[in-house]
Structure 1
Amino acid sequence: MKHIPRKRFGQHFLADEGIIDAIVREIAPRPGDPMVEIGPGLAALTQPLVERLGHLTVVELDRDLAARLRSHGQLRVIESDVLKVDFGALAQELAPGQDAALRVVGNLPYNISTPILFHLLAFAGRIADQHFMLQKEVIDRMVAAPATADYGRLSVMLQWRYAMENVLFVPPESFDPPPRVDSAVVRMVPRAQPAPVRPPLLEELVQTAFSQRRKLLRHTLGKWLDAKGFAGNFDTQRRAEEVPVDEYVALALELP
């Protein structure tokens, strides 16, 4: 029975064999790798992955798709909202005793891709790498350099924790049904020794800085720093997009 894509889940199923092969090459799965796939859908990427891995854990919210996937003998199916999945516990289960071992892949639903990225941020210490297909404009923001229009909160929060690379362009016609946007594949490798900032503090700092992009930081971040009792030196005569990631991180480390 043909599965009808569900708009509420943001379902667009990958159907281009050439693109699928290219994504698998970028992921480079090896037999026995502890890997989790988010949103396997109709298993277009799942099947070539599991053929190389031997076994694969998948997270699928759609109960009809989850039921189909359970019939595959080499898959373990977690029927759940991915935002409720404890990837730290999964890493401990799939790669006990190994640090930064879990590999995570997926075609992320466009409507919740950013919340998924922030959810995974908390588990980056147990993850070896992540390969995600996303809306191209989201990846452009993820990898953006300072002083560009795409540089923002997402750029800073993710670049602090990951080295990232846009590795593949995916046109709309690669999907069924075709989305109205271009897609791309990003590789995310957690940094081995990230600066030991408190993520909630860095997120609050960055969110405040970019809350009014066109204004100088003295109107936003400057007032926030004053309220925190910050007595250090930080140039607030700039706009948020002019400040490199390492300066935001250094500022977060100085705060009480």
Structure 2
Amino acid sequence: MTDTTDLPPPSAPRFDPHALPPLREVIARFGLDAKKSLGQNFLLDLNLTGRIARSAGPMASVTAIEVGPGPGGLTRALLATDATRVIAIERDRRFIEALQDVVDAAQGRLSIVEADALTVDPETLAPAPRAIVANLPYNVATPLLLGWLARIEAYVSLTLMFQKEVADRLVAQPGSKAYGRLSVITQWRADARVLFNLPPRAFTPPPKVDSTIVHLTARAAPEAAEWRVMERVTAAAFGQRRKMLRQSLKSLGNAEALLEEVGIAPTARAEEVDVAGFAALARAVQAREDAAPAQTHQAP
């Protein structure tokens, strides 16, 4: 027998995000001023939050996980989709009470988790299929993304808002100024697609930069490489991106031999190497490290 404890009754009406009090009224009622220290900028236009929710794709049978719901604009939009459940992670306690009206209206489909998203593994919150849809606080967007990319196959998709400069880096190609470590790691693990931009005036208070919605799905056949080694190689390479790789990769040991082994010119710079090249470097570094203990115990 199917357990329907967490599902709304069959006769429940479709969730209407406009049936609740306006978001500006909620903010005024609970005194929810945006905290700069938490990277808070509220998106109050339900047409825009609806567009973001729809851009995540089909949500039937999927649990939508949101980070930083704030007053609940995107939360309402996600509940208006066919998502089985919505789980919102919020560290600012002020919003827990403010979201109670949405919890009640959702009839069992919305759960609020009071926690810092940097310390929460979304996989523990809901069984697959699950998707993350979030207007990320800018000050933690990159570390959150990197954490999810390491296990992106666990998600149907990630539909995330970044400041435009970060979004440009996610999809940048070799040879461009925006191409860097984040570009390599993202494109190694995921297919990333820029969907649309949002101007500062769409938010309260307006940020100083444009924002961009990006849709990411797990790459079907990523280049073979270990996560920790790929992180080390890209950190070394882009940590001194103006230098030739034979210099910037010295910390990995005998950089010239390493580069020659994988067919990359020692005089190349990090921004000239594609994802496949970095994965080859990571495999070579890993092979060298795996062989090191055996060499240590060889008789002289």
TM-score (norm 1): 0.91
Is 55-64 or 117-126 further displaced after alignment?
117-126
User: Is 1:116 matched with 2:116?
Assistant: no
Name which of 68, 73, 91 aligns with 2:98. Answer: 68
Partner in structure 2 of residue 127 of structure 1: 155
Question: Which of 216, 223, 226 pairs up with 2:254?
Answer: 226
Q: Partner of 2:77 in structure 1?
A: 48
From 226, 251, 256, the equivalent of 2:281 is 251
TM-score by structure 2 length? 0.78
- Structural RMSD (CA): 1.9
Give 1:196 shift: 3.2
Report the more deviating stretch, 181-190 or 231-240.
Answer: 231-240
Letter in 2 for 1:243: V
Q: 1:174 aligns with which of 183, 202, 208?
A: 202
Return closer, same or farther for 1:21/1:94 CA change in 2, 3 Å cut-off: same
Matches within 5 A, 1:152-171: 152-171=180-199
Alignment of 1:1-256 (within 5 A): 1=29, 2-52=31-81, 53-71=83-101, 72-73=103-104, 74-90=109-125, 93-95=126-128, 101-222=129-250, 224-226=252-254, 230=258, 232-233=261-262, 234-255=264-285, 256=287
User: Offset at 1:19?
Assistant: 2.3
Q: Which runs of 5+ in 2 are unaligned?
A: 1-28, 288-300
Q: How many angstroms apart in 2 are the aligned matches of 1:37 and 1:223?
A: 39
Residue identity matched to 1:81: D
Contact 2:246–2:255 (CA<8 Å) still a contact in 1? no
Decide whether aligned partners of structure 1 residues 84 and 229 sit closer, same or farther in structure 2, where only a CA change above 3 A counts: farther
With over 3 angstroms needed to count, the CA separation of the structure-2 counterparts of 1:225 and 1:163, relative to structure 1, is farther
Distance 1:94 1:82 in 2: 18
Measure, in 2, the Cα distance between the counterparts of 1:130 and 1:7.
25
1:70-107 deviations in whole A, cap 9, x for unaligned? 441331111111011112323xx433xxxxx3210101
> How far apart in 1 are the matches of 2:251 and 2:35?
45
Kept in 2: contact 1:58–1:77 (CA 8 A): yes
Residues of 1 paired with 2:234 and 2:204: CA distance?
A: 37
Other-structure match for 2:4: none
- Any idea what the Cα deviations from partners look like across 1:113-150, whole Å, max 9, x if unmatched? 11111121232121110000110000001110000000
Give the AA of the match of 1:46.
T
Which letter does structure 2 place at the counterpart of 1:86? D
Which runs of 5 or more residues in structure 1 are unaligned?
Answer: 96-100
Does the 8 Å contact 1:70/1:76 carry over to 2?
Answer: no
How many residues in Structure 1 have an aligned counterpart in Structure 2?
249
SS across alignment from 1:76:
strand
Q: Deviations over 1:193-239 (max 9, x none)?
A: 32331111101100100111111111112552417984724322111
Paired amino acid for 1:103: A
Give the percent of matched residue pairs that are identical in Structure 1 and Structure 2: 37
Shift of 1:154: 0.4
Structure 2: distance between partners of 1:253 and 1:102? 31
